[in-house]
Structure 1
Amino acid sequence: MGESAAENSWVRRVEEVLRKLGERVRVEAAIVFGSWARGGGGEWSDVDLLVVSSDVANLGILDRFSISAEYAREGVDLFIYTPEELESMVRRGNALALSALVEGVLVVTCDHVERLRREASSRYRRLGRMWVSLEAGPAP
């Protein structure tokens, strides 16, 4: 499978997941991150997909895990957060959130995620496998 065919493969997988997920919750933002976003994904690589939806605010962690598990069969590792949860993750320097926002490919976006992306990009840098704050003192 050539590079463009592999890339088309992740695009098709993400489109299908977002279509199906969109029947259950409103997808406010979707970001592909990890190896595919960094150009290192291959034919056998799962696609890491972060979805932001206010509709999951009342779902417990097990319910979200159940939804995410449904898409693992399609080669997509799905992470679902509310806008507030994602904002809190950025403020704490969470590596998953930072990787998605700073290095990820926006598939669907909204103003809130665009603002968080700018904030994360200006406050943090990747140093090897770690994210470091560019601000003095510990991250809030």
Structure 2
Amino acid sequence: MGRFIFKMQNILEIKIKLETQAKNAYAEAANRLSQEEEKRDALIKRRLDYEDEERELMTGKMNVIDIKSQKEAIRVMDELIKRQRAKVVLARKNLDLERIKLNQAMVERKTYEKLRERALEEYREEELARESKEIDELVSYKYGTKQL
């Protein structure tokens, strides 16, 4: 019995490597999104802390300068949160793009694996047919020589 050789094995291996790279890029994008969301959440928490401090300043002895600086800090935090939300949206879009690339790479790999499976099945059928033919020839040769 001969050895099965898939003619497009090198392409399949390349597709597997491309899929691995796409998985790594997707994981990196997911990590980046997580980091950006954590930064956003930290900024929101910090803003809430500033609001609490402002309330405390309002209830205690009124110091106009402290209250104004607290309001300015809250305004700055609002701007930082707005920018961070934009970064989160961008990171989410990048994650979606990487997911699309990963899905495409997986489809291509699976396509070549199916081609390989079909080629292997055809090879096995051809081998079975060849073996069956050899057996038939051997049997007919033995049968034919006994009658002579």
TM bucket (normalised to shorter chain) is under 0.3
Return the index of the structure with the highest Cα Rg.
2
More helix by percentage = 2
What is the TM-score normalised by the length of structure 2?
A: 0.21
Give the strand-richer structure, 1 or 2.
1
